Structure 1
Amino acid sequence: RAVGQGYAGGLADLLADQGLPQAHQLAGSINDAVAQGLARSVQAPRADGDRTRHAATPTLGADQGGTAAQGAVPPPPPAAPYGNQASGAPGQPTSPYGAQAPGTPGQPPASPYDPPAAADPPSGAQPGATAGGTVNYSHPRRQTTAPPPPPPTAPPAQPGQPQQPVAGDATGWSMDERLYNQVWGMFEDLARTMAAYRSAVDFADSRMEKELDQALSDPRSRIGGQSDAAREAARARHTELVDQARAALDRDLAQLTAEADVVEPALPAAYARWDNPVWHGHRVPMEIPMALRLGDLHLPEAPQLRIPMLVRLPLERGLWIDSGRADSLDGSYTDSHDLKRLAMETAVAHAARLLAVYPAGEFTVHVIDPAGSGGQALVPLVQTGVLAGPPALGAAGVADVLARLTQRVDLVQMAVRGGAPDSLPPGFDTSEQLLIVNDFPHGFDDRAVTQLRYLADEGPAVGVHLMMVADREEASAYGPLLDPLWRSLLRLSPVPDDHLADPWVGHAWTYEPSLVPPGSQVLQQVLSQLAAARTKYT
């Protein structure tokens, strides 16, 4: 932002221009603090070229035992869903709106459907001959895979009018992937648009203060009406700059709102809100979706524009529904009892969504409720019979569930490391596992806490996921022992709270969980349909 305001040296020059001492040291401290704050940001979509959805049984990787066959060609690096990656920065996702590298002058840009150009054969080698001496009979321009269907296009806009948005107008091999990339594109666009607006307002404020200081620093200007005229001129320039920034923001918000209005109704069940009509015609899917909706995100300058918060599946991190005391953004007060009830309802809504979007028999949910305080919220899951068993009560139930899941993680890890992922015991359940823990650390001893930390660290890699409904203050007796556990989980709140940050600018976004509308029976209908499908499946 400092460079955009005309400071070639960046933040250090801006601070020095403001008259701050030790500007370079202060700028370095600010950059370090920003880097540490990125740890709480929403994870950006990873670059993943594998379009298949893996089941709970992991596959054997090249670094997990076994040697590659001699002469085997390594697979090409995965393609990023947000476009081409810059050379020298592997693994960093790029935006679909980023500029492409210019090609060679005089040559047209390469088509995404053209095969890669072959290297020049060595001297003396015959065309079409491979290193092993065999002849390659494939046509050099023939496609080996079917190209993705073209994305939907909007009708041409009227002259002088912006292009009309259309759902699925993004890159991807399927409509779900296009919508996923489009939602993340809207997320990034709103973050950068708001960053530009806030930067412009900050610059206008700083400029007005600087002009006022200069006008009042000369005692002669305070005589007569010169000071009043200088103040009026500074305020007029400030108002003009702010109005220009607000006009640009309103224009971008109008375009993003129009895009959200066409994208939201087109979202599949995994991405949609519970009040979306797609849930009334929902059928148990045959494959795992790309992502899951956990709630909505918005900024205070545009509360009406809600961005779906989508996370990739299978889950790479556990979830923590914070049931501790939280200050509501609207000034309302929620006592601890209601907050714990809302936290458990949020956990049930997330678990039900996971069960609904996975194929029948591919996702299993376990519940630990030592004191039985979450019985009312768990009624939809218990009555429909979609749980692996009744909620575990007391210390004995906690120990039993944790022991079984820990043994599962150990077995899968040993099979993978031994190079025999198919050698699991007969009748081994290969579905993804989710453990919901309520009222932590009630009912947990030191051994159970150690097992819980082990599941949080090692479980996601082998299909065992954790969802905790807990108040961190209640576990303060363990001290820093549980700090790695809390940091490894994605913190969510049962009430609107601005604790999440985006991975591009670092704005504080207000998160609202995706809950079932009051009085709606859609959750009961979806779970009943899932239970019937499981009966047919088994």
Structure 2
Amino acid sequence: MGERFTAGQNAPLAIRTVRFTASAAVPLDVCAFVVDDRLRVASSDDVVFYNQPRTAGVRLEGEVIVVDVGAVRRGARVLCAVGCERPAAVSTSLSDAAGTSLATFHVEPAAGSETALLCWEIYRRNDVWKVRALGQGYTGGLVEMFTAHGVDVDDSAEISDSETVPAPAVGLPPLELLWRIFEDAARSAAACTSSLEFARLRLDDELSAAVADPARRTGLEAEQSRQRAQQRYDELVEVAETRYRNDSAVLAAELLTVDATLPPALASWTSPAWIRSSTPSDGVRVGEVAADHGPLRIPLCLPAPLLRPLWIEGEPAELGPVVSSLVVRLLAAQLGTLVHLVDPGRTLPELEALTAARFAGPPVHDRAQVPAKLRGLADAADLDALAQQVDGSTPTSPALVVLAGFPYGYDHDDLVQIVRITRAGGNGRISMVFAGDPPDDDDDPVVQILRGAAQHLPADEQLTDPWTGGRWAFTPDRLPAETEHLRGVLGGNSLQD
């Protein structure tokens, strides 16, 4: 074999003795379970760990689990696992008696709190021994894992201290805190997906085994085999989905608690921060993401000021609430920010009414005024960049440039000026927002430059998380219908004035 496995992947095992090892950035305890087809031990003697280093066919040698498949009782399978002092990624390996690597598997804990991980299954199918990568985790540590496989645990302290779930991170910057919650949700969803795939593959294997012998494909015994396989599948699915629901409930409660502490730019629109707070922020909420498994919705946030131009894609007439939401949040994140609005199609009337107190000048609606406005912004950005290079001076007010109807409402020379603003304003002073559908076949090289320089925010689409590659349904943030309570943060007249 020799390749790196992914969760659910299996392969034949051609040797008699297998050595299981694991490593991580934290202390580990390796262990093994000798289980039946329901993944349950017959007794506590079927567990191998530091307090019980041997059972038939499996032994602990230092920090290595050694499995002699020929000595494992007939009909049983072996689960190789680890317990961690705290949640950590674990690299595992199966090797032969001489230490030659046969397979590797990298396991990531989900939900930021799993301290026990099932890593490998060694099992027999149609008299052929095989190995399968697992990747299922337990937030309750070794105690939960032992209990799940039928081990009667009288005193958790006799097993390990690794089941302690870490307290939520405190003192983190708000943006980082929300990204950590998203990461926890991503890993939890990935673990659920992996467990469901494992259950499906096991069911396929067991149903295939039930019909492998032509003489036994029908009849009562065959039907009972299929029923047992379906029952085991249903049990695994229920365990996976229950664990995911529990993880989601914990994260939802954490989000509810955190929302009350966030600055306005990152908080929900119903948060009291929009009435009582003028706290700056290191980020802005741009929408929410949701996985396929349940109702949990996680805020998706970006740094403030914007590190790259943000291109909000969609029909101009439909983007008003989305663009307005982002602009309001960016103004709340940097309290001294002034807005430069270029909106030839007059697609953002709600935004103008709400943020008029923060305009650097009158919004540009006349198409004939667009070139002069953009050239003036580009010249000012160049001068600011030059002054910063010469004497390190910083402009007094950050700027937010909003370009609606982009790029169709702008000619080639306008786009060149926008490139100048983008490049000169890269020191964080200027945030840029483009709103409109990018062309599919525009061969203007300046459009292509801007398209590559911008971060794109689709109106409604699937996104991929950076930790597990999982797919998430994205819903952009939209300005609420009632906005009067937002004026206090934005500099207008609030209800409390």
Question: TM-score by structure 1 length?
Answer: 0.58
Distance (Å, rounded) in 2 between the aligned partners of 1:529 and 1:297: 31
1:165-219 deviation line (CA, Å, top 9, x unaligned): 99xx5243xxxx4544432222111111111110010111112112222332332
Which position in structure 2 is the counterpart of 1:345? 321
Which position in structure 2 is the counterpart of 1:170? 169
Kept in 1, the 8 Å contact 2:277–2:489? The answer is yes
Kept in 1, the 8 Å contact 2:343–2:363? The answer is yes
Asked if 1:386 is matched to 2:358, the reply is yes
Distance (Å, rounded) in 2 between the aligned partners of 1:13 and 1:292: 35
Which position in structure 1 is the counterpart of 2:340? 366
Kept in 2, the 8 Å contact 1:394–1:443? The answer is no
State the identity as a percent.
29
1:485-535 deviation line (CA, Å, top 9, x unaligned): 2343232244xx34322221122223333333323422345435389xxxx
Amino acid at match of 1:248: R
1:405 to 377, 380, 389: 377
Number of residues of Structure 1 aligned to a counterpart in Structure 2: 353
CA spacing shift, 1:15–1:258, aligned 2, 3 Å = closer
Asked if 1:460 is matched to 2:426, the reply is yes
Which position in structure 2 is the counterpart of 1:320? 311
Distance (Å, rounded) in 2 between the aligned partners of 1:98 and 1:487: 38
Unaligned 5+ runs, structure 2: 13-109, 115-154, 157-162
Asked if 1:489 is matched to 2:454, the reply is yes
Which position in structure 1 is the counterpart of 2:443? 478
Which position in structure 2 is the counterpart of 1:450? 416
Alignment of 1:73-84 (within 5 A): none
1:219-239 deviation line (CA, Å, top 9, x unaligned): 222243343233222211211
509-518 or 231-240, which moves further after superposition? 509-518
Distance (Å, rounded) in 2 between the aligned partners of 1:409 and 1:509: 37
Unaligned 5+ runs, structure 1: 1-6, 19-94, 100-158, 325-339, 532-538
Amino acid at match of 1:450: V
Asked if 1:396 is matched to 2:368, the reply is yes
Kept in 1, the 8 Å contact 2:285–2:477? The answer is yes
Quick check: which one's strand share is greater?
A: 2
Distance (Å, rounded) in 2 between the aligned partners of 1:381 and 1:323: 22
Kept in 1, the 8 Å contact 2:112–2:187? The answer is no
SS at match of 2:339: strand
Distance (Å, rounded) in 1 between the aligned partners of 2:164 and 2:218: 56
Which position in structure 2 is the counterpart of 1:523? 486
CA spacing shift, 1:527–1:201, aligned 2, 3 Å = same
Alignment of 1:18-33 (within 5 A): none
SS at match of 1:466: strand
The offset of 1:277, in angstroms, is 1.6
Alignment of 1:157-236 (within 5 A): 169-172=168-171, 177-236=172-231
Alignment of 1:15-164 (within 5 A): 17=11
Alignment of 1:420-459 (within 5 A): 420-422=391-393, 429-459=395-425
Which position in structure 2 is the counterpart of 1:10? 4
1:362-417 deviation line (CA, Å, top 9, x unaligned): 311111112x33153333246x3421122223443221122122212322333344
Amino acid at match of 1:380: A
Amino acid at match of 1:478: D
Which position in structure 2 is the counterpart of 1:503? 466
CA spacing shift, 1:530–1:310, aligned 2, 3 Å = farther
CA spacing shift, 1:399–1:520, aligned 2, 3 Å = closer
Distance (Å, rounded) in 2 between the aligned partners of 1:394 and 1:350: 24
Distance (Å, rounded) in 2 between the aligned partners of 1:506 and 1:438: 32
The offset of 1:8, in angstroms, is 6.9
CA spacing shift, 1:402–1:481, aligned 2, 3 Å = closer
SS at match of 1:460: coil
SS at match of 1:412: helix
User: Which gives a bigger RCO, structure 1 or 2 (Cα 8 Å, sep 6+)?
Assistant: 1
Kept in 1, the 8 Å contact 2:173–2:282? The answer is no
Distance (Å, rounded) in 2 between the aligned partners of 1:179 and 1:438: 30
Distance (Å, rounded) in 2 between the aligned partners of 1:313 and 1:397: 29
The offset of 1:242, in angstroms, is 0.9
SS at match of 1:367: strand
Amino acid at match of 2:486: L
1:428-487 deviation line (CA, Å, top 9, x unaligned): x532111111112233222222232343344232522210111124x6333676344234
Kept in 2, the 8 Å contact 1:341–1:377? The answer is no
Distance (Å, rounded) in 1 between the aligned partners of 2:209 and 2:298: 43
Please give the root-mean-square deviation of Cα atoms over the aligned residues, in Å: 3.6
CA spacing shift, 1:246–1:417, aligned 2, 3 Å = same
Alignment of 1:233-312 (within 5 A): 233-283=228-278, 285=279, 288-303=280-295, 305-312=296-303
Distance (Å, rounded) in 1 between the aligned partners of 2:475 and 2:7: 39
Kept in 1, the 8 Å contact 2:263–2:273? The answer is yes
Distance (Å, rounded) in 2 between the aligned partners of 1:225 and 1:453: 74
What stretches of structure 1 move > 6 A for 4+ residues in a row?
12-16, 162-166
Amino acid at match of 1:476: D
SS at match of 1:270: helix
Distance (Å, rounded) in 2 between the aligned partners of 1:14 and 1:170: 32
The offset of 1:16, in angstroms, is 7.5
